[in-house]
Chain A
């Protein structure tokens, strides 16, 4: 303290209003906290964790690590090459799950993947091999990857490869197929498989040629695509980078189009192929989502394994379970039942048709965008019949449960305040405020595809569960 007992001009008060009023009477500025009791049963663990001598520094380190990461797109390659994924191995979104507990859309995606790999002739023939363990399942997150919705990755699928130039760490994500009847929403019809084959035969190799050519270009417009930089810009252009990726997709196209045109023919592709790739990317507003997600994972992975840190490093759903991981609890998942989103439905579909929440895309919210940046994408609020003030309130509310702000990712309408970053398990338990996630909704029957989009929150109980483990570890350290 610089001064022994300086006159306070501004006091933060929590509790009895009368005592705050007494300060106002003395012409002191008062910031009143709307204190409420924490989530039931968390009092003792909250005190233990708050009193953990490692906590403050650990969380500061964790947040700094997350904010320090820059994600660049350095390559596009098959999963067999970059993830070491073998024949018969399948990755999926969310925490670990077995076939018997898998939801409709995850099963549909896996069946599509099996057919796409040629493991079965007909997707309908695949379930037996999943059920008896011939085909094996593992979470994307366990291989440094993330997958939207069902998140199914098979060896022949092409992956974006993102790298943090400081550390060389990498994360991966498949290429976005577009909306509607697509594998990630659990569809496996012939047109779905046809599109996947074109993506593996044409789109993937073309993107690799362009990404590599741009990375090798030493002119000012060259260099690896700066995914973090595009996120910075798109957040100021109405995208929240989860349910709205329109500006980001077009900026990616702007960066890659010249190299697609020049490097495509060198790689043996026709002008028609290049035109088809350009049309496909430009016509799919969500194409950039599959870059936003691994960029967020790359940032959050930097905080993994920091003892005493209460920051959430992953939120992910497999269509059955919603799971979180924290910086201070290693690879342990804290899971509860995934919820059904509230929102709007396509066509005749209704809430009864929707599968519970699915996908690794909540990694965007974990990193402070998506639902957390709702204020910068007011159009998304209409998914639940909300209003623009609702959008502003949502982003403000997320600041209550996060450790800091991202100085790069700013929300113009909130006076360029940084996005709320670093969900703190303790703050969620103290306030009862749950992370707000923007999401698509898959049909619950395998093969249906997308039925709507909306807003969802995690099951509340997984945060007290994670807190209890953090408290247990803190007590063990003494």
Chain B
């Protein structure tokens, strides 16, 4: 036989929302079949009547506690539950403010100066457009952004006088701040426009070595000078650098552009008040090191390209095998080897065990599916390096070590044991500046101690490796 308890608490008050919650809590107490704790308004009294409670005499300003219990013994516990629920207060908890979910929202609240986008390629367009909508420049580190989206972004940017660096822009220095894989540079008279990430880094490193500082290095992405994109970012970057009073010479680094784009860029360059050094990379053209030397010479300085350490003596093997993390550096190595040997140079990972010279870019899209870039995670290159060093057909190994923000903290530590445990001559292109967080000189010293020959110039390293591979065993190159 269930037991009904209805009590009127004159002078008690809580708002209806709180009382709904109290009623629910009390209804969940063992022994309670139904509970309604409410102010005695007409509406609430009607609800009580519907629930089958006997209505007490009351005024609307009083609180009614109505309980239906399994038996009378449950009453003390039920009333205790009512009181507990009425006084319950949540402990003060300050929720952490959730981060913004779009570049748009973050820019609206915080008003950043520019945006850096490195989300997966399929999502990069929207984040980059957020930046342009907020009248901000944007660097798009993401790769795999469809060409049509790049064109749309850059056309929008061009209408608004904004700069889109990328997509697939690995590095930039904007007003001294490094973005992406960025080397630490001193401020100075050079302004770079680069359609190539590691190409830009090679120049930064060599300029730094010559004591030449850099005002800005604006990446534009590898497709900017294609016919489809039309050099829109390059043209904007040239205008920016021309307007920067700190810039005395502009260097434009790119693969050879589409002819009509090349003409447009050359016309634009000629109209600037700042001299522009065009460095177009490709077969039969100047390598990155020659470009750096031209710039340094123009400024009345010179760059010391002497290596540290000396490679081991030549071995029986005759093949040069290049294992790179930098795409442009790998491309330059392949070109120089093809040029120096008159042979085709293999570019696939399998070619490292093949019958000819081979240069592999471990940062290539195909080799980074599901894994981080080798500048961050060198595991894959290390595996291949161990195999190549153990292969009697290998005459010399050339590889790059790229320093700077974003890159591995101590790349030499992983490479040194591999190099030290092999008789094969190893030549390293160490691309970095004195200010880089890894410590340029310490990295060089560790590699030299392991038996490597360390060059500041990739081109010089490649030529040296080729000479070593072609030398008779035991002889010096």
In the complex, are the beta carbons of B101 and A33 less than 8 A apart? Answer: yes
Q: Specify which chain A residues have a CB less than 8 angstroms from the CB of B437 in the assembled complex.
A: 25
CA separation between A153 and B46, bound complex, in Å? 27
In the complex, are the beta carbons of A10 and B95 less than 8 A apart? Answer: no
In the complex, are the beta carbons of B15 and A10 less than 8 A apart? Answer: no
Q: Specify which chain B residues have a CB less than 8 angstroms from the CB of A219 in the assembled complex.
A: none
In the complex, are the beta carbons of A5 and B215 less than 8 A apart? Answer: yes
A4-B240, A12-B103, A388-B90 known; A23 and B215 CB under 8 Å?
Answer: no
Q: Judge whether B72 is part of the interface by a CB distance below 8 angstroms.
A: no
CA separation between A475 and B366, bound complex, in Å? 33
In the complex, are the beta carbons of B113 and A11 less than 8 A apart? Answer: yes
Q: Judge whether B326 is part of the interface by a CB distance below 8 angstroms.
A: no
Q: Specify which chain B residues have a CB less than 8 angstroms from the CB of A261 in the assembled complex.
A: none
A26-B405, A34-B99, A396-B98 known; A344 and B129 CB under 8 Å?
Answer: no
In the complex, are the beta carbons of A15 and B119 less than 8 A apart? Answer: yes
A33-B102, A47-B149, A382-B18 known; A13 and B129 CB under 8 Å?
Answer: no
Q: Specify which chain B residues have a CB less than 8 angstroms from the CB of A36 in the assembled complex.
A: 101
Q: Specify which chain A residues have a CB less than 8 angstroms from the CB of B102 in the assembled complex.
A: 33, 35, 400, 427, 430-431
Q: Specify which chain A residues have a CB less than 8 angstroms from the CB of B142 in the assembled complex.
A: 15
A22-B182, A33-B106 known; A8 and B175 CB under 8 Å?
Answer: yes
In the complex, are the beta carbons of A9 and B113 less than 8 A apart? Answer: yes
Q: Which of B120-128, B329-337, B387-395 contacts A (4 or more CB under 8 A)?
A: B120-128
The distance from the CB of B250 to the nearest CB of chain A, in whole angstroms, is 11
- CB neighbors of A among B95-151 (8 A): 95, 97-107, 109-120, 122-123, 125-127, 129, 131, 133, 136-137, 141-142, 149
Q: Judge whether A32 is part of the interface by a CB distance below 8 angstroms.
A: yes
Q: Judge whether B285 is part of the interface by a CB distance below 8 angstroms.
A: no
One of A1, A8, A35, A46 near B119 (C-beta < 8 A): A35
In the complex, are the beta carbons of A14 and B115 less than 8 A apart? Answer: yes
The distance from the CB of B132 to the nearest CB of chain A, in whole angstroms, is 9
Q: Specify which chain B residues have a CB less than 8 angstroms from the CB of A430 in the assembled complex.
A: 101-102, 126
Q: Specify which chain A residues have a CB less than 8 angstroms from the CB of B425 in the assembled complex.
A: none
Q: Specify which chain A residues have a CB less than 8 angstroms from the CB of B110 in the assembled complex.
A: 10, 12, 31
**Interface bits A376-391 vs B (CB < 8 Å: 1, else 0):** 0001101101011110
Q: Judge whether A87 is part of the interface by a CB distance below 8 angstroms.
A: no
One of B15, B97, B241 near A4 (C-beta < 8 A): B241
Kindly report which residue of chain B lies nearest to residue A386, judged by CB atoms.
B90
In the complex, are the beta carbons of A393 and B103 less than 8 A apart? Answer: no
CA separation between A433 and B103, bound complex, in Å? 15
Kindly report which residue of chain A lies nearest to residue B140, judged by CB atoms.
A15
The distance from the CB of B252 to the nearest CB of chain A, in whole angstroms, is 15
In the complex, are the beta carbons of A14 and B119 less than 8 A apart? Answer: yes
Q: Judge whether A6 is part of the interface by a CB distance below 8 angstroms.
A: yes
Q: Specify which chain A residues have a CB less than 8 angstroms from the CB of B413 in the assembled complex.
A: none
The distance from the CB of B221 to the nearest CB of chain A, in whole angstroms, is 16
CA separation between A50 and B216, bound complex, in Å? 30
Interface of B (DSSP majority class) = mixed
CA separation between A38 and B124, bound complex, in Å? 12
From B112, B136, B137, residue with most partner A Cβ within 10 Å? B112
CA separation between A339 and B8, bound complex, in Å? 37
One of A14, A16, A19, A433 near B127 (C-beta < 8 A): A14
Q: Specify which chain B residues have a CB less than 8 angstroms from the CB of A180 in the assembled complex.
A: 43, 46-47
- How many residues of chain B have a CB within 8 Å of chain A? 83
Q: Specify which chain A residues have a CB less than 8 angstroms from the CB of B47 in the assembled complex.
A: 180, 346-347
In the complex, are the beta carbons of B141 and A19 less than 8 A apart? Answer: yes
Q: Judge whether A56 is part of the interface by a CB distance below 8 angstroms.
A: yes
In the complex, are the beta carbons of B105 and A400 less than 8 A apart? Answer: yes
In the complex, are the beta carbons of B106 and A50 less than 8 A apart? Answer: no
The distance from the CB of A452 to the nearest CB of chain B, in whole angstroms, is 8
CA separation between A293 and B15, bound complex, in Å? 24
CA separation between A344 and B93, bound complex, in Å? 23
In the complex, are the beta carbons of B174 and A12 less than 8 A apart? Answer: no
Q: Specify which chain A residues have a CB less than 8 angstroms from the CB of B106 in the assembled complex.
A: 12, 31-33
In the complex, are the beta carbons of B105 and A7 less than 8 A apart? Answer: no
Q: Specify which chain B residues have a CB less than 8 angstroms from the CB of A252 in the assembled complex.
A: none
Q: Specify which chain B residues have a CB less than 8 angstroms from the CB of A5 in the assembled complex.
A: 174-175, 191, 215-216, 218, 240-241, 244
From B120, B179, B182, residue with most partner A Cβ within 10 Å? B179
**Interface bits A464-475 vs B (CB < 8 Å: 1, else 0):** 000000000000
CA separation between A249 and B98, bound complex, in Å? 34
In the complex, are the beta carbons of B133 and A35 less than 8 A apart? Answer: no
**Interface bits B185-220 vs A (CB < 8 Å: 1, else 0):** 000000100000000000000000000000110100
In the complex, are the beta carbons of B244 and A37 less than 8 A apart? Answer: no
In the complex, are the beta carbons of B405 and A22 less than 8 A apart? Answer: yes
Q: Specify which chain A residues have a CB less than 8 angstroms from the CB of B99 in the assembled complex.
A: 32-34
A22-B182, A348-B34, A390-B95 known; A382 and B111 CB under 8 Å?
Answer: no
Q: Judge whether A317 is part of the interface by a CB distance below 8 angstroms.
A: no
Kindly report which residue of chain B lies nearest to residue A27, judged by CB atoms.
B177
From A15, A389, A392, residue with most partner B Cβ within 10 Å? A15
Q: Specify which chain B residues have a CB less than 8 angstroms from the CB of A20 in the assembled complex.
A: 116
Q: Judge whether A179 is part of the interface by a CB distance below 8 angstroms.
A: yes
A25-B405, A50-B129, A179-B43 known; A344 and B17 CB under 8 Å?
Answer: yes
CA separation between A430 and B122, bound complex, in Å? 12
CA separation between A13 and B110, bound complex, in Å? 12
Q: Judge whether A43 is part of the interface by a CB distance below 8 angstroms.
A: yes
- CB neighbors of B among A36-85 (8 A): 36-38, 43, 46-47, 50-51, 56
Q: Judge whether B36 is part of the interface by a CB distance below 8 angstroms.
A: yes
The distance from the CB of B29 to the nearest CB of chain A, in whole angstroms, is 16
In the complex, are the beta carbons of B175 and A19 less than 8 A apart? Answer: no
Q: Judge whether A28 is part of the interface by a CB distance below 8 angstroms.
A: yes
The distance from the CB of A169 to the nearest CB of chain B, in whole angstroms, is 29
Kindly report which residue of chain B lies nearest to residue A28, judged by CB atoms.
B177
Kindly report which residue of chain A lies nearest to residue B149, judged by CB atoms.
A47
CA separation between A393 and B93, bound complex, in Å? 12
Kindly report which residue of chain A lies nearest to residue B91, judged by CB atoms.
A387
In the complex, are the beta carbons of B115 and A12 less than 8 A apart? Answer: yes
CA separation between A453 and B17, bound complex, in Å? 9
**B residues bordering A, Cβ < 8 Å?**
15, 17-18, 20-21, 23-24, 34, 36, 43, 46-48, 50-51, 90, 93-95, 97-107, 109-120, 122-123, 125-127, 129, 131, 133, 136-137, 141-142, 149, 152, 156, 161-163, 174-180, 182, 191, 215-216, 218, 239-244, 247, 376, 405-406, 437
Known: A19-B406, A34-B101. 11 other contacts (CB 8 A): A1-B163, A6-B174, A7-B175, A12-B115, A14-B115, A31-B106, A33-B103, A36-B101, A181-B46, A389-B93, A427-B102
A-B contact pairs, 9 of them (CB 8 A): A5-B240, A12-B136, A15-B116, A25-B405, A33-B127, A179-B43, A346-B20, A347-B50, A396-B98
